[in-house]
Amino acid sequence: MMRTVAIALTATLALMAGVISTSIAACSQDKKSSDIERAFERHREELFAIPGVTTVMIVDSGGQQRIEVQVYEGERTPQLEAALPEQIEGYPVVLVERPRPDPQRYDIAGTIKTIAPADVSAQEQGMVGSLLVVADPPLKYSRVDKASVAVPSDATIWWPMGEGKKSATFGDLHEGDHIIVTFSGPVAESYPVQATAADIEIVSGP
């Protein structure tokens, strides 16, 4: 009887040790992620200030974390490479060339200058908020150079993840983010144009 109890206790202790070990590993990974996220936020704006940079994101590949800076193909210059740090707070910085966006697939590619949640009246019309987007660079890849964009609750908002997509929400959008927007329905011919978003790709990354 005592041997049975001892075996049961040993199994229980082993199970508890496994749970504790898993919890410690998860906490360690969470801390590791939060460390690079804090470093990323501290230096994000200075990376975007380098001429030619279109996207800045955190990449975790096989547990190896890095900060990835993207430019459009053909816009990688010696000056840009010289301005880019090799690492930030111990994390390597990697420069990647991104294919140029196809202007037949969207209406504006640029930077969010202002962002606002919808008021009660707009919410009643199915809106979650609005954005002021300025093309970057103006009219080089976009059909308009500036747009006031209403974002409905059914708009698709996402980050590119490899060959797929990672869903996002209006709350994931921030001033300074680089986005690609496809409009839905008619566009008001004011300045800036007023449009409704059907699809928003966040090229800054999650």
Q: Which residue has the tokens 């990647």?
A: 96
Question: Do 116 and 56 lie in a common domain?
Answer: no
- Mean pLDDT on 185-202: 90
pTM of the predicted protein model: 0.55
How confident is the model at residue 155, as a pLDDT?
Answer: 94
**Which one has a higher pLDDT value, 164 or 33?**
164
181, 106 Cβ separation under 8 angstroms: yes
Q: Which two tokens stand for residue 186?
A: 């008619």
DSSP type of residue 39: H
For 20, other C-beta atoms within 10 Å of its C-beta total 10
Structural domain containing residue 164: 108-202
Question: Do 143 and 60 lie in a common domain?
Answer: no
CATH number at residue 74: 3.30.300
How far apart are alpha carbons 142 and 54 in whole angstroms?
A: 14
- Mean pLDDT on 70-90: 88
Which of 67, 98, 129 is where one domain is finished?
Answer: 98
pLDDT at 32 over 60: no
Does a structural domain hold residue 10? no
Provide the residue type at 95 as one letter: L
**Overall domain count for the chain:** 2
pLDDT at 171 over 90: yes
For 170, other C-beta atoms within 10 Å of its C-beta total 20
Question: Do 186 and 118 lie in a common domain?
Answer: yes
Question: Do 138 and 70 lie in a common domain?
Answer: no
Q: Are strands 178-188 and 108-117 parallel, antiparallel or unpaired?
A: antiparallel
Question: Do 94 and 115 lie in a common domain?
Answer: no
**Which one has a higher pLDDT value, 153 or 187?**
153
Question: Do 112 and 169 lie in a common domain?
Answer: yes
- Residue 198's Cβ-count burial label (10 Å; 0-12, 13-18, 19+) is middle
Which of 51, 77, 98 is where one domain is finished?
Answer: 98
176, 111 Cβ separation under 8 angstroms: yes
Written in H, E and C, the secondary structure of 81-107 is HHHCCCEECCEEEEEEEECCCCCCCCC
Does a structural domain hold residue 174? yes
